[in-house]
Amino acid sequence: MESKTALAVVKKQKDNGIWGGNLLGLGPVAALGIRDAGTIPQYRRLLQLEWPRGSRPFKLADRVLFRLLSRDEDPALHFEFQKSVKSDPDAEAWARGVIREAASAALAEAGYADDPRLRGAGHKIA
């Protein structure tokens, strides 16, 4: 039986696999324009609630999280760091590192520790 909590999390996910329009937000922060918890906390919450791993919410989110580990230079992948990166180009490497580390941790928790994409990201982080 699916819990009401898990169903509420699933319903908040957008078709692009993102929750709350951000990655790391733990809750609403009006000053930053964050209205809800971000993708990584919601993803991890579904894992903790034992939502089926092969289901659509995980497939959509996995696609985004693995893309964050890639060398994709799309500015949209900076999510809540877009303004910081735009005003300070030196912040881009820092933001990419923070995002990559968070995505790696979530994917490892989901059981992808042996995936070569995740191991490669681990070498970049370390």
pLDDT in tens, 27-72: 878 777 778 899 999 999 999 999 999 999 999 999 999 999 998 8
Give the range of the structural domain holding residue 57, as residue numbers without chain letter: 4-125
Cα 72 off chain centre by: 15
How many CB atoms are located within 10 Å of the residue 19 CB? Answer: 24
> How confident is residue 121, by pLDDT bands cut at 50, 70 and 90?
confident
> What pLDDT is recorded for position 75?
86
pLDDT in tens, 86-114: 888 889 889 999 999 999 999 999 999 99
pLDDT attached to residue 102: 96
Highest mean pLDDT among 8-22, 87-101, 110-124: 8-22
Please calculate the CA angle 9-107-77 and round it to the nearest 5 degrees: 80
- Amino acid symbol at 78: H
> By the 8 A CB rule, do 19 and 12 touch?
yes
| Number of independent structural domains in the chain | 1
* Residue 70 tokens, joined: 């890639």
Which distant-in-sequence residues (6+ apart) come within 8 Å of 95 by Cβ?
Answer: 78, 81, 84, 85
- The pTM is what? 0.89
Confidence (pLDDT) at 57: 97
Examine the pLDDT at 1 and tell me if it is beyond 60: no
